[in-house]
Amino acid sequence: MTKKYNWSVLVGAAFLMATSAIGPGFLTQTAVFTAQLGASFGFVILLSVVLDAIAQLNIWRIIAVADQPAQDIANKVFSGLGYFISFLVFLGGMAFNIGNIAGAGLGLNVLFGVSVGQGAVMSAIIAIGIFIYKEAGKAMDLFAKIMGGLKILLALFIAYISKPPLAEAVIRSVNPTHFSFVAVLTIVGGTVGGYITFAGAHRLLDAGLSGQQNLPAINKGALSAVGLASLMRILLFIAALGVVSAGGKLDPGNPAASVFQLAAGAFGYKLFGLVMWSAGISSVVGSAYTSVSFIKSFHPFILKFNRQIIIGFIILSGIIFLMIGKPVKILLTVGAINGFILPISLGIMLVAAYRSKIISTYKQPLWLTVLGVLVVATMAWMSYGVILQLLRN
């Protein structure tokens, strides 16, 4: 019975990370970069999958072995570092959550014709309902699985009917004619940046699944999470590629909606509304849960009122969105913000892997550390390049 429960938690954690990643920004970014890079965007996706898998494996394993949340590990690496990383992740999570609520509002706007603001408020109320429920952890796991499965099935349908040039997509995935550092940074940041990479690992801690004895299962969970998010990215990419290759022009105001509408007409547009809403609402849940998990160990008050603080986080995100507006711009920006955070958070975890007071007798595989350092260096270099580019503009 215990084994079955652990497997259920593991799948729930993988889906929580994946559905946190497959948010409205994920949909918007994929459509925009497919329009910009064409079939060569497949290479960016392939590169991001490798970077994502290395980051996830390192972080999930270190958190599981240390049996502590990332912020406590960081504080043991260097006093006060945990507060700094928590601030970064919490801020990035808030930015992401504003985008998630915006996306959920856009989805309901398409489905039912309500204003984006009204849709955002309705979605925030539904997300809050999950955390009001007594068994919030189990409800969150089930919700993540249902929403994740729904998004993948609908994306598969649109990818099929858009008739994409699959041969060209495969060729350009290994031999691209176009490349973009901004695309890689945004895609990796939107998949494992900021709070997202910690979503599944912190969920496993809360469920009591940690320690060296569980590493094989934790590896499966980390890779499953990346696999689920990558599958959705590939399906959306080939769907958008089919539309763009056929001469379809994406609407800059809502590029992801254009993919569905141009592929399947009015019915496709309604399907987009459903995908956008499920992406937004599931990411609201994942973002709020993980962002608050970064501060709950700092004070008994936060731990005691964890659920109420998560609800407050969702409410504040909604209020900020209603004040700012501009959902598409927000959705593109937040991925890049979280991409800047990844090299810092992953770098700290890699240092922790060699502190016996944190990981006890655990020996981190050298190949995993080397690959992790390469990801840190690559993401830091890309972040620097993108910042310079932004300053020039």
For range 271-291, the mean pLDDT = 85
pLDDT reported for residue 136: 63
pLDDT reported for residue 200: 82
Structure token pair of residue 144: 């993540």
Structure token pair of residue 223: 């890779």
For range 174-202, the mean pLDDT = 81
pLDDT reported for residue 312: 93
Angle between helices 136-161 and 2-21 in degrees, nearest 10 = 50
CA 136-220-236 angle, to 5 degrees, is 80
State yes or no: pLDDT of 50 exceeds 70: yes
For range 126-149, the mean pLDDT = 76
pLDDT reported for residue 65: 94
Q: How confident is the model at residue 328 (pLDDT cuts 50, 70, 90)?
A: low
pLDDT reported for residue 66: 94
| Phi-psi region at 113: left, alpha or beta (left = phi > 0; alpha = psi -120 to 50) | left
Sequence-ordered strand ranges (E) for 82-158: none
Burial (CB count within 10 angstroms: exposed 0-12, middle 13-18, buried 19+), residue 30 = buried
**pLDDT tens digit sequence for 66-94:** 999 999 999 999 999 999 888 888 877 88
pLDDT reported for residue 348: 93
* Helix then strand then coil, % of the chain, to nearest 5: 85, 0, 15
CA 217 to chain centre: 21
Q: How confident is the model at residue 124 (pLDDT cuts 50, 70, 90)?
A: very high
Domain 30-392: assigned CATH number: 1.20.1740.10
State yes or no: pLDDT of 129 exceeds 50: yes
Measured distance CA(346)–CA(375) in Å, rounded: 9
State yes or no: pLDDT of 222 exceeds 70: yes
For range 3-21, the mean pLDDT = 70
Measured distance CA(6)–CA(28) in Å, rounded: 34
Q: How many helices (H) and strands (E) does the chain have?
A: 17, 0
